[in-house]
Structure formats: C-alpha cells, structure tokens
Amino acid sequence: MQTIEELLESKNIRVTAMRLLIYKFLAEKQIAVTLSDIENAFEKADRTTLYRTVKTFEEKDIVHQIDDGTGITKYALCEKGCNCELETDLHLHFHCNNCNETVCLTEHKIPQIKVPDGFVSENVNLVVKGICDKCSGQ
Amino acid sequence: MQTIEELLESKNIRVTAMRLLIYKFLAEKQIAVTLSDIENAFEKADRTTLYRTVKTFEEKDIVHQIDDGTGITKYALCEKGCNCELETDLHLHFHCNNCNETVCLTEHKIPQIKVPDGFVSENVNLVVKGICDKCSGQ
DNA sequence: CAGTAATTGCACTTCCATTGCATTGATTTT
DNA sequence: AAAATCAATGCAATGGAAGTGCAATTACTG
Ligand SMILES: [Mn+2]
Ligand SMILES: [Mn+2]
Ligand SMILES: [Zn+2]
Ligand SMILES: [Zn+2]
C-alpha cells in the first residue's frame, strides 16, 4: 500500500499541500466532480490552481475526464492500474437525470463496437443516462 | 416523395426562406455540423436566427443533437421515420480524430447496455473515436 | 387592406475553459 | 547558507459557445 505522496512521486508530480488536498477530495468522493465542485470545497484557493492541478493529474493519468453530456467537464480518479488511454480499459459512465450525479461504473467495460469497413476504432465514449440507484429508491 | 415544404408543414414548422436553405444545407452534408459551420455557410444571416432555426428543427425532431466529446454541439438531420426520443432508435456516432468530422452511423444501433441493479437506463450516448474511412485511405 | 402572430436581427449576458504574467515557494548548485 | 534556478500559485484577462430580451420585420388571417 503506497501513500499518496509515493503515488504522486511515482508519476513525476511534485508533492504540494494543494495537490494532496485535491487528491484526497477526489478520493473520498464516490462520484465524478466538476471544477466548480472543487472550487466550492476549496474556497480559499484560486480557480486556476485547482484547474491546473486537475489538468496535471489528468496528464499523468491519475484522473480521467468525463463528458457526460451536461456540457460541463467532470473528473474522477482512475482505478489502480487503469490505463485510460487503452480502449480495452474503458468503463462506462452513468449520469442520473434526477440528481445530476455521474458515476464511474468501473466494473462495466464497454462492449466491442463494430464499425463499418474503412473505419478504425481507437476509442469509445459511452454514457448511459437514467435514474441512479440512490434516486430509484432501490 | 414529399418536398421539404411538405415535410416542414407536416411538423408544424412554418416554411421560410431561411429554413429551407438551412434544411438543404444539412441535407447535402454527409456529416454532422456545428453552428459555426452553418454560420460560415450563411454569412449574411444572423447567428441567432441560425441558432433558433436549428433549435426549432431539433424540437420538432427534424434534426438531432450530437455530443461527440469535442465540446462543441453538432447537429444532423434525422433519418426518415427516426424516433430520436426512443432508446431503441439510437444509432452510434463516429468521430474522426484526424479530420475532426463526425458522422452518423445510422445502420449501427447501440447494443443493449447492462447497468447494475438499482440503476434505470433511459438513454445512451455512444461515440466511437478513431480514423474515418476517408482518412484511413481505404 | 388592416390586424395579428411568428420570425428575424441586434445587443447583451452568462458560463465554462484557458492563457499571460507576476509572485511566491521549493529545490539544486556553488 | 546564500544564490540561482525551476516549478507552483494567484490574479487578471481573454475566448468561445450557448442562450435571452426586445425591437423591427415579415408572413399569415380575416
Ligand atoms: Mn470513469
Ligand atoms: Mn446521428
Ligand atoms: Zn440520482
Ligand atoms: Zn477523418
């Protein structure tokens, strides 16, 4: 079990107070978060810093970006050992039309999608919309 | 075979010169277009008019909106008899990482996606990214 | 033709994402 | 330890796309 410090260092990210705080924030959230969510959680910090921190995490494959169709980019921590860039690794995302929350369904890999001749599939984005478990009352 | 005028009227959309032009523009394009694309094609017309025309078409199920992950909304004409609002009718979209064009693969319906217990699927957005037939050289 | 209703154009706004630059802070070198 | 160097942070500003209020114009109705 490695500490957050060790994880960041292993990815060549300098350890700073801000980065540790943001990492912990993302880690304890079970849902994908927007930049505004992070802003609200760290009101003393500057938006730009939060933005660049998340972008750094994203670049180093610590978080992945989620486009759930709301028009607002969301972010979530990658699974341990996740290779976001490889198609085989991609899980699907669920966006709740009721509570507006988006979750990673990391257990649910995206099925193989057939494309017509001449097309080369490199990557798939799959978002299911509906009612989440908390909102469906079950 | 019905004319464009008849189609618009059948959807309770008043026929105007602008609407006919935009419809024809969308019809002859084989790819999904952004509002900017339309703007560039009709420089004399006002952005707002183009915007509201497309929104009218969308509302009346003449065009459907496509979120291909580029962050810019795209639009494409619906197929004849397409019921965009029904999940069963949904086709997948392909976005080319090379030429940045997005096409409807209307023949390729989205497979049934399983979601965990408690989750209710109402809608699915599936975008495949890669290299399109024109760019793959075959 | 007059009256009414919808469409169009212009101006303005909002929201999110992104960048330039100065400042602060941390790390390395002498 | 001080100086030099490089990265991280904060502040201000920008850009792009989406959306709205209202007045002017155009199309439809009787
Ligand atoms: Mn995810
Ligand atoms: Mn389509
Ligand atoms: Zn919910
Ligand atoms: Zn292409």
pLDDT digits (tens, 9 = 90+) for B40-86: 999 999 999 999 999 999 999 999 999 999 999 999 999 887 777 66
Residue B24 in this model has a pLDDT that exceeds 80:
yes
Using a CB-CB distance cutoff of 8 angstroms, which residues of chain B are in contact with residue A35?
Answer: none
Instruction: Name residue B102's beta-bridge partners.
Output: B95
Q: How many residues are listed for chain B in this entry?
A: 138
Which CATH number is B4-136's, of 3.40.50.620, 3.30.360.10, 1.10.10.10, 1.10.10.410? 1.10.10.10
User: Which of A113, A122, A136 comes nearest B119 by C-beta?
Assistant: A136
Residues A15-48 have pLDDT tens digits of: 999 999 999 999 999 899 999 999 999 999 999 9
> What's this model's pTM, rounded to 2 decimal places?
0.91
Average pLDDT, chain B: 93
B46 touches strand C (CB under 7 A): yes
pLDDT band at residue A103 using 50, 70 and 90 as cut-offs: very high
A103 within 8 A of B113, measured Cβ to Cβ:
no
The first and second tokens of residue A104, run together, are 């990673």
Domain ranges of chain B: 4-136
Residue A107 in this model has a pLDDT that exceeds 70:
yes
The residue type found at A119 is F
Residue B88 in this model has a pLDDT that exceeds 70:
no
B133 interfaces chain A, CB cutoff of 8 Å: yes
Q: In chain A, whose CA is at the least distance from the CA of B71?
A: A71
Instruction: Report the pLDDT value the prediction gives residue B85, as an integer from 0 to 100.
Output: 66
Q: Hey, are the CB atoms on B129 and A122 less than 8 Å from each other?
A: yes
Report the footprint of strand D: residues with C-beta closer than 7 angstroms. Answer: A 13-14, 16-19, 44-49, 52-53, 56, 71; B 14-17, 34-36, 47-48, 51-52, 55, 71-73
Residues A72-96 have pLDDT tens digits of: 999 999 988 777 766 667 899 999 9
Residues B90-110 have pLDDT tens digits of: 899 999 999 999 999 999 988
